[in-house]
Amino acid sequence: MEEITFRTKIIMGENALDRLKSFQNEKIMIVTDPFIEKSGIIKEIICRIDGNNNSYIIFNEIIPDPPIETVAIGVKVLQQFSPNIMIAIGGGSAIDAAKAIKDFSGKLNRDQASLTFIAIPTTSGTGSEVTSFSVITDKDAAVKYPLVADSLLPDEAILDSSLVQSVPPAITADTGMDVLTHALEAYVSTKANDFSDAFSEKAIQLIFKYLPRAYRDGDDLEAREKVHHASCLAGLAFNMVGLGINHSIAHACGAQFNIPHGRMNAILLTAVIDYNAALPDFNERGKHYTKAAKKYAHIANIIGSPSTNPRSGVKGLQAQITKISNLLNIPENLKKCGVSKEKLQGAKERIIEAALNDACTKTNPRSPSSFEIEKILDKIQ
Ligand code: NAD
């Protein structure tokens, strides 16, 4: 038996942010990063809550790949201020940190477990606004920990793509490729079902069509909106059925080498597809294609790369991924991100161990050995 619940209410479209005007006499804690405050994006929130409510506080100390220490400071701020609403505004880092702050505070003080939690993404990437995941980094150990619990789910997500307009091209590219990775991993997850597939397929179509446009011209509002929706759709998909080893390896490698999450995912994508598809040797052609290979081929068809068999479908999908990565100027391997062969060699064992233990590995279509993860790392070096 399977059960599908969508707990997060999604508010989108024109004037979506006006939802915030309905709060009256509340105590509100805003969690964000310094850029969102300095750039003035935060004013879009303040102008809708100021005056109607008792008080608000801004905790603006979130940095990319939020570390445990920042979460601990946030917990103290929340304990002292004791709000009844928390608004997280920013990229995945701000939303994830807010989730962890709320959850840890709730464990210390039950009253704080019930505060209303609103997530407002300003990047189109993680889908964190609708997921029960939060990725927190232990900078000393160079490890990322994905926390997974229903209690991390936001109560409401507000999608306003005008907030994403200021995202520079490189971050648009990285975060957009994160969306594609979410959707593709959910699509071949061991738990994938017709519902998650519907979200994944739509997200993948939107990314291939609109991400290059959003990258080329950040003011292309139609493209921005479609990529923002794709991010949320992919979040809904993987929240239902999990991810795979692309994310497990990306968490480990990204933490070791300080590579932005979406970029790390993009670098891994074609190598992981190779592994998951497990195409039979040429001389056994037609004998057996894995379910993952058939599903990748179906995706190739959907994005306009028709194939006559799963083998050519998998290759067609990989070619389309390489094409979009090139259009977005994503570095093709670790070397191009400044990671030498020797550096990778020195960290390999730690990366393999972390990847094998990562929660995302459980739903990968193939269960990898250390040796197989090592082979994937060798392909991307
Ligand atoms: P991010 O939140 O780390 O932000 C990246 C940079 O973009 C920051 O410098 C930020 O200030 C800037 N930025 C944010 N909004 C902007 C805007 N509108 N204009 C200009 N700059 C802006 O990036 P992200 O990719 O959204 O999040 C990455 C984090 O999310 C990683 O820690 C990753 O592991 C995690 N993650 C979480 C989930 C989940 O389900 N919770 C899923 C995937 C990844």
Tell me: the pLDDT tens digits for 243-283? 999 999 999 999 999 999 999 999 999 999 999 999 998 76
pLDDT above 90 (res 2): no
Question: Between vectors from CA 231 to CA 176 and to CA 192, what angle results, nearest 5°?
Answer: 110
Q: Are strands 55-59 and 156-159 parallel, antiparallel or unpaired?
A: unpaired
Looking at residue 91, what DSSP letter applies? S
CA-nearest residue for atom 43, ligand 1, is: 126
Amino acid 159 reads L
CA 41 / ligand 1 centre spacing (Å):
15
Angstrom distance (rounded) from CA 85 to CA 284? 60
Residue type, 287: K
pLDDT of residue 110: 78
Distance CA 63, CA 57 (A): 18
pLDDT above 70 coverage of the chain, percent? 99
Report the C-alpha gap between 44 and 123 in whole angstroms. Answer: 15
Please tell me the distance from the alpha carbon of residue 179 to that of residue 202, in angstroms, as a whole number: 11
Round to whole Å and give the CA distance between 381 and 377.
6
Q: What is the rounded distance in angstroms from the CA atom of residue 370 to the CA atom of residue 119?
A: 37
From CA 293, how far away is CA 289, in angstroms rounded?
6
**pLDDT value at 69 more than 90:** yes
Q: What digits encode the pLDDT tens for the residues 300-343?
A: 999 999 999 999 999 999 999 999 999 999 999 999 999 999 99
Residue 164 Cα, ligand 1 centroid: separation in angstroms? 11
Cα dihedral 359, 362, 365, 369, rounded to 10, equals 90
- Which residue's alpha carbon is nearest to atom 21 within ligand 1? 167
List the residue whose alpha carbon is closest to atom 4 of ligand 1.
91
Indicate the average pLDDT of the chain. Answer: 95
SS3 of the chain: helix, strand, coil, percent, to 5: 60, 10, 30
Farthest-apart Cα atoms in the chain, separation: 73
- The set of protein residues with a Cβ atom below 6 angstroms from ligand 1 is 33, 35, 64-65, 90-94, 96, 122-123, 125-128, 131, 133-135, 144, 163-164, 166-167, 171, 175, 178, 261-262
Residue 284 has pLDDT above 90, yes or no: no
CB atoms within 10 A of CB 4: 10
Ligand 1 center–CA 250 separation, angstroms: 15
Lowest mean pLDDT among 11-20, 48-57, 136-145: 136-145
- Name the region of 242 (left: φ>0; alpha: ψ -120 to 50; beta: rest): left
- Main-chain dihedrals φ then ψ at residue 145, nearest 5 degrees: -110, 115
Is pLDDT at 285 greater than 70 in this prediction?
no
Give the residue among 114, 80, 117, 115 at the shortest CA–CA distance from 97: 117
- pLDDT reported for residue 20: 97
Residues 303-311: contacts with CB under 8 Å, at least 24 apart: 303/204, 303/205, 303/208, 304/208, 310/277, 310/279, 311/279, 311/285
CA–centroid distance, residue 234 to ligand 1 (Å)? 15
Q: Identify the burial level of 284 via C-beta atoms within 10 angstroms of its C-beta, where 0-12 means exposed, 13-18 middle and 19 or more buried.
A: exposed
Of 202, 212, 230, the C-alpha closest to 325 is 212
Spatial separation of the C-alpha atoms in residues 60 and 340, rounded to whole Å: 35
Residue with the smallest CA separation from ligand 1 atom 11 is 35
How many Å lie between the centroid of ligand 1 and the Cα of residue 84?
Answer: 25
Integer CA distances (angstroms), 320 to 119, 238, 357, in order: 32, 22, 31
Task: Calculate how far, in angstroms, residue 96's C-alpha sits from the geometric centre of ligand 1.
Answer: 9
Q: Supply the pLDDT for residue 371.
A: 98
How far is ligand 1, taken at its centre, from the CA of residue 90, in Å? 7
Burial class (CB in 10 A: 0-12, 13-18, 19+), 142: middle
Residue of 42, 123, 236 to test ligand 1 pocket, by largest number of atoms within 8 Å of CB: 123
- pLDDT, one tens digit per residue, over 84-100 is 999 999 999 999 999 99
Q: For 182-224, how does the pLDDT look when each residue is reduced to its tens digit (9 = 90+)? A: 999 999 999 999 999 999 999 999 999 999 999 999 999 999 9
Name the more confident of 139 and 130. Answer: 130
Amino acid at 107: K
Report yes or no: 204 and 299 within 8 Å, Cβ to Cβ.
yes
Residue 380 has pLDDT above 60, yes or no: yes
